[in-house]
Chains A and B, each alone.
Chain A
Amino acid sequence: MAERRRSGDSWARSLAALRTGPAAFLARAGADALASELLSDLRGERLSDYTKVSLLAAIQEFAPQLWSEPASAEDAACELLDTLALLPPRPSALHRPLLLAVTSVLAACGALGPSSAATGRLLALLLRAASRRAAGPEQRALQATACECLRELESCRPGLLAGRLGLLRGLQAALGTQPHRLLFALALRNALWALGRPGAAGLQGLLTGPPGETQAWDWTLEAPGAPQPGPWDWTLAGEALGPGAWPEPGPGPLELQPPEARELRAAVSQLLDASYLLTPPAQARLLRQLSQALRAVRGQPPALLKPQLVRLLGTARLSLLHAVLAWKDAFGEALFTAQDEALLLRRLVGAAQHPALPAPARLFYLHCLLHFPENWPLGPADEEGAPVLLTPGLAAGLLPSLLQEPPDLLGRLRLLCLLCGEEPGPEAQALDYLQGLLACLRRGAAQPGAPRSSATLCFRASYLATRCLAGHPAALARLIEGLADLYRVRPCLAPHFVDLLEQAGPVLAEPLGKALQQVAVAGSGGGPALRWHLQILTKVAGSQPLGPTLAFLRAAMGQRGAWGREQALLRVCRALLRGKGLGGAAPGALANLLQELARGLDDPDGRDRARLYYGLFTHLSAPKLGSAMGPALSTPMPGSSLVEENEGFTAALTVQEARAPLRLSRVPQQAKEPPVVLGLAVEASEVLYSLELRFRVLGPHYEPLEAVQVPCLRPGAFPKLLRLPLEPRRPYPAVLDISALYATPSGLTCHAQLPQLPVAFADLFLPLPQSSAEKSPSCAFQELWASCLPGGVESCMWGPWRGQALEALVARHWEPFVMAATPPASYKVAIRLPPSSRLLLQLEAAGEDGVRVALRTDDWAVLPLAGEYLRGLGAAT
């Protein structure tokens, strides 16, 4: 109980622990216990408001962890709303955090929806708070929070507020605050998107709905006896889950009637005119949403947006310029003429190189330049490219220099590469500049003791450059020469070289591999560099001439050394075995080397491996050797032979999941007395041993079924017939879930799931026991008929069987059950339904019109099933 009475300090410690590691803390404390403790302490009066605010912040932030089920979240939200109702009417520090917490709990835990009572209470309360005329800072702050909560709910369930558009429009016009404007803009966009879906049409007068009455403020946000508003309209609200229902424009633009379109334009203009009054991030959002709203409607020219452009283009705010670029992307030439496009591009160039702006902002503008939404793009949409209008002259100030920070330098280098990548010509100067820059970066990375970041920068720059140097062989040769020199000076950069060889395409990898092999076999850097040379050779030796590598390996073998070096030697050998340089006279030398390794290595495991390589090399042809040495593409190579061995062993011991190699089909079967028997035929598509078929009846109305064993099944053999006895507890249809367990000829045990099998109502029919010989069948039937009432029920229906149809029907479906008949006009049918019910039918042909069917049963629950069954027969004819 001590835990139940936490003090403020204790809560502060607990919440800090919760923040540091929510999963571990909740596992220790129990999510349910903590959640209920949080809720009860919020209601209590021991804790200060300050502590309660921190509890609410935790609820808001960790709601999904505290209430993983929508039902518990719904309860928690109700409890929080009750707490809110209990607050004194004067403003307190708890009002706003409580609203935020309830909203978060409902929206984040999946409880938001038409069936949630808390949702209804919260929406009504928020709308009330948002529509009062606020006086004083506390009321305004609470109102802003209410609007923000509504906006978040609308974000999580787009279309939620579509039915209140008129009210929201009225509010933003009357109260004119930023939160109201943002709320209306979002609701408007989402509503237009929702209306664009198939089946919806027009704005349906939503925009001109009843204006909101702004009443005087009432602090009792939720008075206990306050009248609840009418039911919420959820028709346009998207589904809570599922990407398909997520806000996106409908398949085609929405068609609006001219008056509706006028209303929409008026509403958008009003918001645009006031956009200057919003904070820059809010403006950016509003501008984006309004452009999306306009795009959702057919025939709405974006000219409305134009008056804002000059103001926005002039600003230094990243989010506003980003919003303008989004407009450019959305409307293209409809909003930006060729001159406008040129101006926007020049502004962007200016911003991307403006020394007064922070470096990350400049880099973002540079990124925007490389993805500039051109009116008439030449390249593919999602790829980086320099816009046509961006000439080397215009971009001169955007090119990289050595003194820039690495991200800056790389971003600009990308642009430089794009400018060089074009046809050789006036860009020659840019190409020279690029090469000079790369040389400087290599010089920096070559410095002894240079930080790894300088090497990383150099290799990233080289990687970017190779992508554009493919068309400039001379420049590529210089780059490769420079990189080989860098390796000669600092072999410890080998991992970077291996990475570059892997990432860069064959344009660089092949010539660079050759150059590196030459440097490596020359053995520069002496003993300490040996491990790096071996690493490089592992990568490149396979595709290079064998001789120099073998000579180098032989020399390296002389330097007896650590296990690591021996392994590295073997790795190079393996690369050689996999490689394509095995022709000519060299193979003998390689075999000799492997033999020497098998004798000379210190490590016994290493010697074994060398021997294995030797054996494989001398016995397998080249393609087989390649596949034996290389990892298979489909299965990852196991880390050790033990793992590999174990995998086979484990497979033999465990049951494998498989696709069913057998088919079950129904065979008609008629039992004379209980139990009901289901006839099945089993066919296999491959040989199966010890097959066990397991049946499970879905639902509670049958006794469990025994498994059926089949010793052996062979494909092509006559299907095996099975009789499956059913013991219903009630005479209802059912579905059988079937699985099979069997052994394969290779010794594996497999489990397979088979398609489900329905048991129909008619499958349960049994004939009634023969009555005593002295009564006529007709009398016996009449007795049965009479005995059904009053405990049972009676019904009658009309069957559409004319003429001979009735006779055929009876012959086909009820022959074993007919007790008395005067063919072809009248039949009396008695059916036993296990375990203990009866169904009696009297069928009388009524001329050409059809058949009158009277039915009685002693079990009222059978009546709907019987009716359905008979209607099914009627439909079948």
Chain B
Amino acid sequence: MAQRAIWLVSHEPGTPHGGTVRFSRRYPTVEKRAKIFNGSSYVPLPEDDPFCKALLFELRLLDDDKDFVESRDSCSRINKASVYGLPIEGRELWPVLAFQKNSLIYVSIPLVEQTLSPPPPLISISGISQAFDLLFGLIDFFDSGPKTEVDLSTKVSQLPDLLMHICPFGTLLDSNFLLDNFNNLSINQTLKQPAWKAGTYKGKQQVAVSVTEKVKSMQYDKRDVADMWQVYGTITCKCDLEGVMPNIIVSLNLPTNGSPLQDILVHPCVTSLDSAVLTSSSVDIMDDSAFSGPYKFPFSPPLESFHLCYYTSQVPVPPILGFYQLKEEDSQLKINVHLKLHESVKNSFEYCEAHIPFFNRGPITHLEYKVSFGQVEVSREKSLLIWIIGQKFPKSLEINLSGTVNFNSMGHQKQPVDTICIGGTTYVKLYFRIPDYTLTGCYADQHSVQVFASGKPKISTCRELISSDYYIWNSKAPAPITYRSLLL
């Protein structure tokens, strides 16, 4: 269960090489084992430059995807779970786990403790999940804080020291790269001190619990296709508590008509789980007998802010229901968008916008519109209308936008081609945030946090609802439907 090497590559489109290796680390003791385990199927690690080139090529990040290249484009080369095979000097280096995020590519090659031909299933490679842990940890590290070039360079320069603590021989000891100072732990570690807690906290005691719910939706306004929506939430905690292992129980509550939480996944610091929590799953058919809380999570917190749990839920109605009609008439488009906020939803937004993009048509040249509420902005070059609805829906809770749009089809060539929104297939996407509200009704308050520690910590809680992939498809054209939409 070890990694042969780690790379951090930055993707720089437009530069001669398309990217550079920002950091690399090889583990020769692991490599020695790889040679023995893999036998004749062993492929040695390449040097940085050829590796970078092969990686960018495989990920299609070089600008030369004009021609069909069998080693990359062949229909039988189907990568699984972000695991790639890179052609290196006529042989294939596998399994290369690579994640791309914010122009950085995080790469690790786990040791496979068997022969590589035929390639074993990923599930049987013990090092693969460690590679996931390592790369997720690296992504958290590079995603935190500001992201200027200077910050990036500083973080890269910290990597050798961090890896000496976390992964000295390619075997991952911790995936938390964010512990800012390993050499200055605050107190002596005792026998029961968890390894995931580098020291103990000294100072003002407080516990913060926040509930963030996101709602996804696909609305079609079609008779034979069901609209879909889904809510999923994350509970984030930050516990500043004194003592080696202070114990806390956080209980999430639902109001009487709340929607039960399902598919609950918890942080590893949670010590035990009620079987009802473990078994409530979104694959079950909902009925009144479903467990509806309170959902108790006993745990001893780590020092840093962490996600106590994730859940999903099936709420009876989407917060905003709408339809979108778009028709092409005489080289112009007629659009009509109608939105209605459900009466049960709190009508108090931080922001609410509807984005109406137009694809494969060139820049907007002319727009005429009528709007019952809010304002409309036009981004001509991007072929995008933004309907700014603001903080509140009107009393009727229903709003409407209609108009006609003209395009310069000659400017079409300059824009990237969309392969989904072809012809009349297009959508309106909603962006909104409602503070101090959740669709499921799920909440935590002063009374739902029990702290078993000396002193009385200050407890703060908050919640919010945010839209995520909230689509309303043009009902006058085919739309990409999900399988579940067909079932109803």
- Chain A: residues with CB nearer than 8 A to chain B? 19-23, 54, 57, 60-64, 96-97, 100, 103-104, 107-108, 110, 135-138, 140-141, 145, 148-149, 151-152, 155-156, 176-179, 182, 241-243, 246, 276-285, 288, 310-311, 313-323, 325-326, 329, 343, 346-347, 349-351, 353-358, 360-361, 363-364, 366-368, 371, 373, 382, 384, 393-394, 396-397, 399-403, 407, 410-411, 414, 416, 429-430, 432-433, 436, 440, 443-445, 447-456, 459-460, 462-464, 495-496, 499-500, 503-504
Contacts and interface: CB of A to CB of B under 8 A. Distances in A.
Nearest to A443: B422
Nearest to A361: B132
27 contacts: A21-B47, A54-B160, A61-B25, A61-B28, A108-B32, A276-B271, A278-B195, A281-B173, A281-B174, A282-B195, A311-B270, A311-B273, A314-B264, A316-B267, A318-B136, A322-B123, A349-B281, A354-B232, A364-B122, A367-B123, A371-B122, A399-B482, A403-B480, A440-B420, A451-B65, A452-B68, A500-B75
B73 A452 contact: yes
A463 B74 CA distance: 10
* 4 closest cross-chain pairs (CB), A and B: A444-B419, A495-B68, A316-B265, A402-B480
B99 A360 contact: yes
Contacts of B278: 310, 313-314, 343, 347
Contacts of B219: none
Contacts of A449: 413, 417
A411 B81 contact: yes
Given A155-B29, A350-B283, A403-B420, A433 B486 contact: yes
Interface in B413-440: 413, 416-420, 422
Contacts of B120: 382
Interface string B359-399: 01000000000000000000000000000000000000000
Given A315-B267, A402-B420, A447-B417, 9 more contacts: A20-B49, A137-B184, A322-B126, A355-B232, A367-B81, A371-B121, A401-B483, A495-B67, A500-B75
Interface in B185-223: 185, 188-189, 191-196, 214, 216
B265 A407 contact: no
B459 to A, nearest CB: 24
A319 B78 contact: no
Contact of B75 (A136, A361, A459): A459
Interface residues of B, number: 116
Interface in B331-350: none
B316 interface: no
B37 A246 contact: yes
Contacts of A149: 169
A447 B419 contact: yes
Nearest to B121: A371
B475 interface: no
Interface stretch (B146-154, B175-183, B400-408, B448-456): B175-183
A137 B185 contact: yes
Contacts, number: 343
B270 A367 contact: no
B103 interface: no
Contacts of B176: 279
B189 to A, nearest CB: 6
B374 to A, nearest CB: 27
A148 B232 contact: no
Given A314-B273, A315-B265, A349 B68 contact: no
B484 interface: yes
B132 A318 contact: yes
Q: Which of B39, B267, B273, B419 has the most CB of A within 10 A?
A: B419
A411 B73 CA distance: 17
Given A241-B36, A367-B122, A279 B173 contact: yes
B24 A277 contact: no
Contact of A463 (B75, B309, B311): B75
Contacts of B79: 407
A241 B194 CA distance: 37
Contact of A354 (B24, B49, B312): B312
A151 B171 contact: yes
Nearest to B279: A343
Contacts of A152: 29, 169, 171
Contact of B123 (A325, A394, A443): A325
Nearest to B175: A281
A363 B184 contact: no
A449 B417 CA distance: 6
B81 A350 contact: no
Given A97-B164, A276-B194, A315-B268, A282 B173 contact: yes
Contacts of A311: 270-273
B77 to A, nearest CB: 8
B461 interface: no
B353 interface: no
Given A310-B273, A463-B75, A284 B122 contact: no
Nearest to B233: A356
B275 interface: yes
A462 B78 CA distance: 12
A689 B267 CA distance: 82
Given A354-B232, A430-B483, A499 B70 contact: yes
Contacts of B465: none
Contacts of A63: 28
Contacts of B409: none
B141 to A, nearest CB: 15
B282 interface: yes
A448 B263 CA distance: 42
Contacts of A443: 419, 422
B80 A367 contact: yes
A356 B261 CA distance: 13
A360 B173 contact: no
Contacts of B265: 314-316, 350-351, 354, 356-357
A243 B39 contact: yes
B160 A57 contact: yes
Contacts of B483: 396, 399-401, 416, 430, 433
Interface in B219-274: 230, 232-234, 262-268, 270-273
Nearest to A57: B160
B173 A280 contact: no
B354 interface: no
Contact of B65 (A103, A136, A453): A453
